Amino acid sequence: MTIETTQTPNFIRAIIEEDLASGKHKTVITRFPPEPNGYLHIGHAKSICINFGLAGDFGGRCHLRFDDTNPAKEEVEYAESIKESVRWLGFDWGEHLYYASDYFEQLYQWGEQLVRQGDAYVDDLSADEIRAYRGTLTETGKESPYRNRSADENLELFRRMRAGEFPDGSRVLRAKIDMSSPNLNLRDPVMYRILHAPHPHAGEKWCIYPMYDYAHGQSDSIEGITHSICTLEFEDHRPLYDWFLDRLGIYPPRQYEFARLNLTYTVMSKRKLLQLVQDGDVRGWDDPRMPTLVGLRRRGYTPDAIRSFCERIGVGRSDSWIDMSILEESVREDLNERAPRAMAVLRPLKLVIDNYPEDLVEEFTVANHPQKPEAGSRTIPFCREVWIETDDFLEEPPKGFHRLAPGQEVRLRYAYIVRCTGVVRDGAGNVIEVRCSYDPDTHTGGPAAGRKVKGVIHWVSALHAIEAEVRLYDRLFTEPNPAGDEWKSFVNLHSVEILTSCRLEPSLKEAAPESRYQFERQGYFCVDAKDSTPGKPVFNRTVTLRDSWAKLDKGDQGNSKA
């Protein structure tokens, strides 16, 4: 599948254009290299769009490679989810699916080469001792007492490590670089650790596993990557990658770093996202409140909206925070174009039209999308009793309240003008029913069809409505930047409200999973693909019609012409 992009200028695109023009590269080969230790989130979407998008724009290719060097945290479930999410975003790696674990033998042989060259050694220090010897940003490191073993001794120990003769954590293979380097990544980094554990992809062949920093650059080299694109936190790792490539004498891909996505009111750390799942703050990785791609998909976000968002925020080298409202506005704009309209009453209040014939049922034909005739139309039944929103009626309305109140008129959307004549109360004095009269001449085609009233409210026929569950999702955190050790204290305890007695127009009864609608005057909603059953849809609110968090009321965006 080819995804069209706007080809917005950025520094990486400029580099590629120069490389192709100079003949440095004849084609463009990028890669998206996730670790299969969690589900992809919106930050990964930015990287996916950059890597696949640039390769596609220049007629090249993008590899999907799993950098699966740590079997203790990796699962097949994560790998399969990653593949599905990349496809869902609209990208395809074709035949170019790779695993770093497929290169384990080559990586091991290169490890032996570095040992023979005197560029690597086996260290018996514990993990805590290695950390202590490493030093700090202000203090240089200290050399391990095992650093000057002979190449022959190191080679024998490294081979015995591979043979499984030593327990976990007893030895590591380290690169011999510079313990006084101002770059901590060059202070004899660990290349291999002992871990007697099966690997999700490689099986039980290995009991030593390469570290990410050792495997990453060589994997790019094996695949012939022309432009190795990653986020800024790997900038300090680039000298290490280059050191390995230089010592091994193999093709050196060039790495380019861009600013990662920092999005307000959420977290992007897979560790923190996993903790939210494990602690029960959310209902799994695909909870619609999560910034994961499976969560956003379940909430109703479209691939087009996410790609548009990634294009909108651009590619730069300066770290910054992107406000959640930009992501929300991207999906509003997309759904305003594609989502058919429907009427749904989320907090129902019965309205009875006393002068409407009791046995009469009318059907009104209305457009599925007010600006798209090609979207077709549907029929909505109307009868004497309808459901309206509880908030659309007030007994003592404030000034400027243009909805329903005693003696006040409103138009029932697509139907008639009604006037409130009274109410019915329960034993506690609560209003449980609104009584009205209607003007039969005010429907389309009637002699008074053009009569104006200030208020228009939506409704559904009480006789024909379907009952459904609707979940109103909000932002997962109450603070824009939930950082620090107390980040969990900012979890929004009101980030979801579940309404179980909503009334929807009957056309929604068989709504397909993941189908999206604009509920008029309410927002954009999506049929939950996990909890819906045939004839009983569950709807998730994707986003409100306007930014309810904004200080200024911008109006009903996306519904101004509905």
HSE value, Cβ hemisphere, 13 Å, CA-based, for 96: 20
Please say if the pLDDT value at position 502 is more than 90.
yes
Other C-beta atoms within 10 Å of 510: how many?
A: 12
The reported pLDDT for the residue numbered 25 is 95
pLDDT tens per residue across span 294-306? 999 999 999 999 9
In this prediction, residue 342 has a pLDDT band, given cuts at 50, 70 and 90, of very high
Pairing between strand 262-263 and 362-367?
A: unpaired
The top-level CATH class assigned to 104-211 is: alpha beta
- Using the Cα atoms of residue 217, residue 219, residue 225 and residue 227 in order, give the sign of their dihedral: negative
What mean pLDDT do residues 74-92 have? Answer: 97
At 558, the pLDDT band (50, 70, 90 cuts) reads: very low
- Read off the pTM: 0.91
Residue 554 has pLDDT above 80, yes or no: no
> Average of pLDDT values for 474-492?
94
Mean pLDDT across 127-131: 96
What order do you get walking across the sheet with 460-461 strand by strand?
A: 456-457, 409-412, 417-425, 431-439, 348-353, 385-389, 460-461
Q: Which pLDDT score is estimated for 212? A: 97
pLDDT at 493 over 50: yes
Is 260 assigned a catalytic role? Answer: yes
Q: Is the pLDDT of residue 3 over 70?
A: no
Predicted confidence at residue 2, as pLDDT, reads 44
For range 343-372, the mean pLDDT: 96
Rg of the chain in Å (alpha carbons): 30
What's the CATH number of domain 344-458, 3.40.50.300, 2.40.240.10, 2.40.110.10, 3.40.50.150? 2.40.240.10
Per-residue CA distances from 146 to 132, 151, 176, 283, 415 (Å): 15, 12, 11, 49, 86
What pLDDT is recorded for position 547?
A: 66
According to the model, what pLDDT value does residue 81 have? 97
Q: Tell me the backbone φ, ψ of residue 300, rounded to 5 degrees.
A: 120, 0
Mean pLDDT, the chain, integer: 94
pLDDT at position 555 is 35
320 — pLDDT class (breaks 50, 70, 90): confident
Architecture of domain 11-99+214-263+298-318 in this structure: 3-Layer(aba) Sandwich (3.40)
Decide if 399 is catalytic: no
Q: Which residue has the higher pLDDT, 363 or 9?
A: 363
Classify the phi-psi angles of 305: left when phi > 0, otherwise alpha if psi is within -120 to 50, otherwise beta: alpha
Looking at residue 82, its amino acid is: I
Predicted confidence at residue 497, as pLDDT, reads 97
Which pLDDT value is given to residue 477? 97
From the list 225, 206, 174, 32, the residue with the least C-alpha distance to 102 is: 206
Whether the per-residue pLDDT at 102 is higher than 60: the answer is yes
Q: One of 149, 270, 297, 546 is an active-site residue; which one?
A: 270
Q: At 445, is the pLDDT very low, low, confident or very high (cuts 50, 70, 90)? A: confident
Kindly tell me the sign of the dihedral angle through the C-alpha atoms of 66, 71, 74, 80. Answer: positive
Contacts of 44 (CB under 8 A, 6+ apart): 34, 85, 293
Taking CB atoms within 8 Å and a gap of at least 24, the contacts of 363-369 are 364/414, 364/415, 364/443, 364/444, 366/341, 366/414, 367/341, 368/340, 368/341, 369/339, 369/340, 369/341
Question: CA 397 from chain center: how many Å?
Answer: 41
Give the DSSP letter string of 517-543: EEETTTEEEEE-TTT-BTTB-EEEEEE
343 contacts 413 by C-beta, under 8 angstroms: yes
73: annotated active-site residue: no
State the pLDDT at residue 107: 98
345 strand-pairing partners = 503
Q: What is the pLDDT of residue 450?
A: 86
**Mean pLDDT value across residues 181-207:** 97
What is the average per-residue pLDDT within 448-456? 90
For 425-437, how does the pLDDT look when each residue is reduced to its tens digit (9 = 90+)? 999 999 999 999 9
Phi–psi pair at 184, nearest 5 degrees: -60, -25
Cβ 100 vs Cβ 66: under 8 Å: yes
Q: What is the dihedral of CA 124, 184, 251, 193, to 10 degrees?
A: 30
Summarize the confidence of residues 488-512 as an average pLDDT: 96
Write down the domain spans for the chain: 11-99+214-263+298-318, 104-211, 344-458
From 73, 260, 435, 521, the catalytic residue: 260
Q: Would you state the pLDDT for residue 241?
A: 97
Residue 85, class by beta-carbon neighbours within 10 Å (0-12 exposed, 13-18 middle, 19+ buried)? buried
